[in-house]
């Protein structure tokens, strides 16, 4: 059986096309995975501040931030990023930053401001290598003034 000359001319074309398209495909998949990780981290941060505000809403002194900050840090899963630090967690009572909060609270707000999540894709040129996330949750104060 004889192979025609035109068949031999296109022998490596599929391999060349594959070699050209696979890096682009892998880059797209890598970016999708990285942004999915960022979205997961954002949702985890939202849940963590909600947990912290829930704890702060039932404390005698919501400005005693250790239980609130511990709950936020314990509930947060960075999924490969750095953990939340105490400096990033802010506690507000009646929209006034602790420790200068009023004596009779009506609401407790917990905020994590400018959490720096580091990207791993080559798209870091656009984002500067990081994505800043800020999440806030407010709960009504549930304890009677003592």
pLDDT tens digits, one per residue of 73-130? 999 988 878 899 999 999 998 888 887 767 777 889 999 998 988 887 776 666 667 7
Measured distance CA(104)–CA(26) in Å, rounded? 56
Ramachandran angles phi, psi of 60, nearest 5°: -60, -45
Confidence of residue 143 (pLDDT cuts 50, 70, 90): confident
Per-residue buried b or exposed e for 68-82, using 16+ beta carbons within 10 Å of the residue's own CB: bbebbbebbebeebe
Query: Could you tell me how many residues make up the chain?
Result: 146
Cα 110 from Cα 122, distance rounded (Å): 33
What is the predicted pLDDT for the residue at 9? 60
Domain ranges for the chain: 11-140
Tens digit of pLDDT for each residue in 20-55? 999 999 988 988 888 888 899 999 999 999 999 999
Q: Cβ(52)–Cβ(137) under 8 Å?
A: yes
The closest of 71, 77, 76, 74 to 91, measured between CA atoms, is 71
Least confident range from 4-8, 56-60, 78-82, 99-103: namely 4-8
């Amino acid at each position: 059986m004889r192979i025609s000359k035109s068949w031999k001319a296109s022998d490596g074309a599929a391999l060349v096309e594959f070699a050209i398209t696979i890096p682009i495909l892998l880059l797209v998949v890598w970016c999708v995975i990285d942004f999915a990780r960022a979205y997961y981290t954002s949702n985890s941060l939202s849940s963590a501040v909600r947990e912290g505000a829930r704890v702060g809403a039932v404390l005698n002194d919501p400005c005693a931030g250790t239980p609130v900050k511990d709950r936020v840090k314990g509930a947060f899963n960075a999924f490969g990023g750095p953990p939340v630090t105490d400096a990033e967690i802010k506690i507000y009572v009646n929209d006034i930053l602790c420790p200068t909060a009023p004596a009779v609270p009506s609401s407790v707000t917990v905020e994590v401001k400018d959490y720096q999540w580091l990207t791993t894709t080559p798209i870091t040129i656009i984002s500067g290598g990081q994505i800043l996330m800020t999440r806030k949750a407010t709960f009504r104060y549930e304890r009677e003034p003592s």
